[in-house]
């Protein structure tokens, strides 16, 4: 199935790599992110290389009205969406009590609210056509509590639970839901989240954004409900289930702590 793929957070990292894969296979693109110039550059490059069409929408998904505005622009351009990729998200490291409250609530709006609203707005249209695919980008962070990144980890737990439940609701409808759960990945994310000096990103096994995107894309096209790239990452849910919660939480905190130079 080709058609049009809408990708949030498309200007860098996993979202950018997914845009390349969809364009390679002939999908037209709706690219959503805050940075208009980057979206236009990416869209123009992929259009020239693969002969696809693109539409760039520069919006901040922390704005509660952004999902409705995206759909309004889609309708104005007479664009249907066959694949929805909810990739936009960000995190921040630090104790919750001293964290910037505005940043924490923006994180919830981007990582949870925007994803949910955009899915709710576009899903009925897919169901009416009896075809469509949804890819929600979560994280292995969603499998564990995350001291020093408590809000981010909790938002990703929501994305996993929501996606799995929705996939079951939609069984037999012609619309599939896949949740992608990457572990540590080299993108702009760690710089924004100030994670570059944490133990987590100093450990072996940090993946490349292109490899993560390819795993997610393959899983989406095969209709898989969950994709966890990387052998060590795939072992995490089992280890978590077999370990005491206090130990899981303690180890999680250890990995989030910054390495002293």
- Catalytically active residues, by annotation: 152
Residue 126, phi then psi, degrees to nearest 5 = -65, -45
Retrieve residue 243's tokens: 């370990």
Number of continuous H segments (helices) and E segments (strands) in the chain: 10, 9
CB contact at 8 A, 152 and 104: no
- Residue 51's Cβ-count burial label (10 Å; 0-12, 13-18, 19+) is exposed
Residues 6+ apart with CB under 8 A from 169: none
- Specify the length of the chain in residues: 261
Distance CA 189, CA 16 (A): 13
Contact 109, 62 (CB under 8 A): yes
């Amino acid at each position: 199935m080709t058609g049009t793929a809408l990708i949030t957070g498309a200007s860098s990292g996993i979202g950018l790599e997914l845009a390349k894969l969809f364009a390679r296979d002939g999908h037209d693109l709706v690219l959503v992110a805050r940075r208009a110039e980057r979206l236009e550059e990416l869209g123009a490059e992929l259009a020239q290389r693969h002969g696809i069409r693109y539409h760039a929408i520069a919006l901040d998904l922390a704005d509660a009205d952004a999902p409705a505005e995206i759909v309004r622009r889609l309708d104005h351009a007479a664009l249907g969406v066959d694949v929805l990729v909810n990739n936009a998200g960000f995190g921040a490291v630090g104790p919750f009590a001293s964290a910037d409250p505005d940043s924490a609530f923006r994180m919830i709006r981007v990582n949870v609210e925007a994803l949910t609203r955009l899915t709710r707005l576009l899903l009925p249209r897919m169901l009416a056509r009896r075809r469509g695919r949804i890819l929600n980008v979560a994280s292995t962070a969603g499998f564990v509590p995350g001291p020093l990144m408590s809000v981010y980890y909790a938002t990703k737990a929501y994305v996993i639970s929501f996606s799995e439940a929705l996939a079951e609701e939609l069984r037999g409808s012609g619309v599939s839901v896949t949740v992608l759960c990457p572990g540590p990945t080299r993108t702009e994310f760690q710089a924004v989240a100030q994670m570059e000096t944490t133990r987590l990103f100093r450990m072996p096994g940090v993946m490349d954004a292109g490899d993560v995107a390819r795993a997610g894309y393959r899983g989406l096209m095969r209709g898989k409900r969950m994709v966890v790239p990387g052998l060590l990452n795939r072992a995490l849910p089992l280890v978590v289930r077999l370990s005491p919660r206090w130990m899981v939480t303690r180890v999680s905190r250890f990995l989030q702590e910054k390495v002293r130079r």
